[in-house]
Structure 1
Amino acid sequence: MEFSLAMEQCFHKLGKKKIMALGSSLDDKVSVRNVSCIIHDKKIYFKTDKNFPKTKQLLENPNVAICHWGVQIEGVALNHGLVVLEENKFFQELYEQHWKNSYTAYPHEKTEILIEVVPQFIEIWDQDENNHGFQVLIDVGNKTAEKCLYD
């Protein structure tokens, strides 16, 4: 399968926003929690309070996994600094548009930071029109993709 087509398929399945399960770990303790994500320019973003335990995990061990339905992504959490920074204004606007209640309930104060999940490996589980299962395995670093039938 062609790499760019596989990436298109991934981000098409994710859409513009998703509640995604984020897995992180520190000192052999693994945690999973839901985060409200914005998908923009083929990138995955969420905000979090810099004082939360999950943020400590992300900053000390940026290796993460994030998933929704049939899309699972292994990657690295990249801290873009405070949500209120001018360079993060795009996120504020999209977050307000897509997650209005959360935007209003959790203001972008001095403690909210913007995290991007930078994919390294993506696994998509799907079915064709005949309900035959398959996986698309995407190695982002090597820009390769493979479609595997699932029996």
Structure 2
Amino acid sequence: MNLQYNAKNELFLPKQIQKSRASSNSILKENIKTFMELNEPTERIFNLDERLVRFAGESIFFVRKLAKAYELEYYKNQLIRSSGSASLNYGESQGTITDKDYVFKLSLVVKELKESRNSLRVLNYIKEGEENERNWLLSEVEELIAITSRMMLNKLK
């Protein structure tokens, strides 16, 4: 992605979107949708920390688009909490001193990712949300679980 930022580290939106702010909300929403489609998370990130942050962020974006139904609130909130917690626990693992502490923090990351996966599986079962986004999140969480589990196993050897 080739994004541009100003001095305050704010994202510059394409001129189409800037101009549409003066027009109706429906045009703005359509332009943002187009902008987001062009910047879908298709690029490969090899830094686990960045992938966990992106997974948490994409989970939030996904949840924002879901219906505001009572029965969905539990899974929406759980997905936000568990995906964010996985990223935060991984950040904490980077500051551990002993291998035992490191493995413990990674085990928390795996636990939170599995909770995220279960919430996504329920949402997938009831066909809630955009199918492509659900599939991407499910695929990404499986990869993140596998990567983190392998890191734990390697450290235990």
Give the alignment's TM-score, normalised by structure 1.
Answer: 0.28
Between Structure 1 and Structure 2, the one with more strand by share is 1
Between Structure 1 and Structure 2, the one with more helix by share is 2
**Which has the higher relative contact order, 1 or 2, with Cα contacts under 8 A spaced 6 or more apart?**
1
Give the alignment's TM-score, normalised by structure 2.
Answer: 0.27
Larger radius of gyration: 2
